[in-house]
Amino acid sequence: MFALSSRFCMPSKVLCFGSQNPTLTGQHFSRKTAAELEHITKTNQAISMNEVKATYLLAVYHYTNLSLREAWEQCSRAISMAYMLRLHQIDNPNASPALSSSVLDKEEKRCMWWAIYTLDCFSCLVSFIPSGIDELSLATSIPAALLSKTPASSLRPATLDQARLPDYEMDWSWCVLQDSSSGGAKLQAALIFAHSLARETSHLRRVAHENPRCNLQDQLKCLQQKWNSIFTVLPSWFFLPARHERDRTAQGHRQRLEVLNVCYITGAMASVPPLSADLRWPIGQWQDSSTMEGRWKTCITYILNIVAAYREWAPEYFDKADPIMLPITWTAGSLLALELMNEALVDATEKLALLDALDAAMASLQKPSRYWGIASTLLRSLEDLRGKAWIKLNLQAIFQLAIGVWSPLMPDMPKGSRTTPEPFIPAAPESSTMSETADRSLDIASLAWAPDELLSTLEWFGSGQDTEVPLL
């Protein structure tokens, strides 16, 4: 943000703000960049790569500082600009001659496109908003190198047949098989692939929730095939969170852990209603997913895998972690809190293990909170939810409540017969005398609800029959 925004400032301003608090510097340059971008738009100037980069960084800045309307608008604008610059068609052999450029320029454009793609995935996961990218039209290769580590002379153009994003029904194993010039580039490809799986699963959850009559069996089967392709391509050591000699660097280990966590949350999302996909992990003991209890246990197993991966994170990993880890961590902690509320949980040792895992998830949110404003808010929400773990719920109630934990910044959540335009973070009732529950329904209408200190309240138990989750 500083590097791009400083293009629009006098040298004296750059020196002045560059030596101050990073948060204040970010605020200043985000405002400056937004003003300059608005001026460029009003004067109808041609779109440039610098404008796309600045718009992308503004979206990231607003997302992580909870200026959500600005974030959604900037994300949509970045996608539109990328399409207008044809960044999704860099490696199309039938592309216009105007797209031709040097090898280095093409690689930079590929990096820009896939950065926007992963931002779109982030938006889908945290907001439950449909994707703005049509995957069927993509003809841009995965970056073959890390530009910061690779001299321009060593870059080789990738062909569309080797590395383009394939059609919807094709196997995606290409993304880790291509002849990349660095291990880091292969990890980037694996992370993009994991993002795409998470985005697709989030999309299917949204469709199943909004239109329960929609038949998604073909899409779920395709998702299953893509999921299985991961384990036929990547080596077995890749799926073990402990650092391996083939990670080579600390950055390589961190990126591999990020890939694993995105895969874990995808498996968890697909395990519980309204979806019924059976995405199995090749390591560990797994429950029979033919029952509701088994599917919930499968979900919790994936969540515990996320916590196990975080136990392998070195302190310095949090400084450079992908921001998508923040909502993943919050969702993991929220689901652990719900499992602690499960009335079927009676084993004291298992309860202590879950509490320990929840504390580890909260610690993983606390560490990056000085860098990301969203982390502090998610952490406060999780602390509040942990304090309500004494409530006892049956599995049906847990499934109802879990609707909201997959997308912490959902802009429009059903609340009985009405909706609210504000995003939400779940907040438990401040005063409640709820006792042990069996199979009877929950009556939360009379409970007092206090608004969250930053975001609006989610009536997370629902109100009325129309908010129930159909059990498949």
Rounded CA-CA distance 304/308 in Å is: 6
> In this structure, is residue 460 part of a structural domain?
yes
pLDDT of amino acid 446:
32
AA identity, residue 337: A
Q: Is 298 left (phi over 0), alpha (psi -120 to 50) or beta?
A: alpha
* pLDDT above 80 for 50: yes
Average pLDDT over residues 373-386: 87
Which band of pLDDT confidence, cut at 50, 70 and 90, is reported for residue 52? very high
> In this structure, is residue 206 part of a structural domain?
no
Exposure string (b/e) for 17-31, b if CB count within 10 Å is 16 or more? beeeeeeebbebbbe
Average pLDDT over residues 441-459: 31
Identify the domain containing residue 440 by its residue range.
323-472
Closest CA to 270 of 466, 472, 468: 472
- The first and second tokens of residue 229, run together, are 């392709």
More confident residue, 124 or 261: 261
Rounded CA-CA distance 58/55 in Å is: 5
List the alpha helices (DSSP H) in 6-140.
Answer: 11-18, 22-42, 49-64, 68-84, 103-127
Rounded CA-CA distance 336/353 in Å is: 10
Rounded CA-CA distance 100/108 in Å is: 13
Number of domains in the chain: 1
pLDDT of amino acid 34:
83
State the residue for tokens 């009325």.
464
> In this structure, is residue 336 part of a structural domain?
yes
Rounded CA-CA distance 131/123 in Å is: 8
- The first and second tokens of residue 295, run together, are 């599917």
pLDDT of amino acid 467:
35
The answer to whether 193 and 176 are in contact (CB under 8 A) is yes
In this prediction the pTM is: 0.76
The answer to whether 208 and 403 are in contact (CB under 8 A) is no
> In this structure, is residue 364 part of a structural domain?
yes
The answer to whether 426 and 458 are in contact (CB under 8 A) is yes
> In this structure, is residue 132 part of a structural domain?
no
* pLDDT above 70 for 424: no
Which band of pLDDT confidence, cut at 50, 70 and 90, is reported for residue 300? very high
The β-bridge partners of 418 are: 415
Residues sharing a CB contact under 8 Å with residue 326, sequence separation 6 or more, in sequence order: 64, 365, 368, 372, 374, 375, 378
> In this structure, is residue 455 part of a structural domain?
yes
pLDDT of amino acid 223:
92
Q: Which tens digits make up the pLDDT trace of 228-272? A: 988 888 888 999 999 999 888 898 999 999 999 999 999 999 998
Rg (CA), the chain: 23
Average pLDDT over residues 117-132: 86
pLDDT of amino acid 239:
93
Rounded CA-CA distance 329/360 in Å is: 10
Structure letter (DSSP) for residue 419? E
The answer to whether 425 and 454 are in contact (CB under 8 A) is yes
How far CA 243 is from CA of 138, 238, 254, 260, 472, in Å, comes to 34, 9, 9, 13, 39
More confident residue, 47 or 446: 47
> In this structure, is residue 22 part of a structural domain?
no
Taking the CA atoms of residue 368, residue 370, residue 371 and residue 377 in that order, the dihedral angle to the nearest 10 degrees is 80
In which element (H, E) is residue 466 found? Answer: none
AA identity, residue 350: E
* pLDDT above 80 for 174: no
* pLDDT above 70 for 449: no
> In this structure, is residue 372 part of a structural domain?
yes
Q: Mean pLDDT in the chain? A: 75
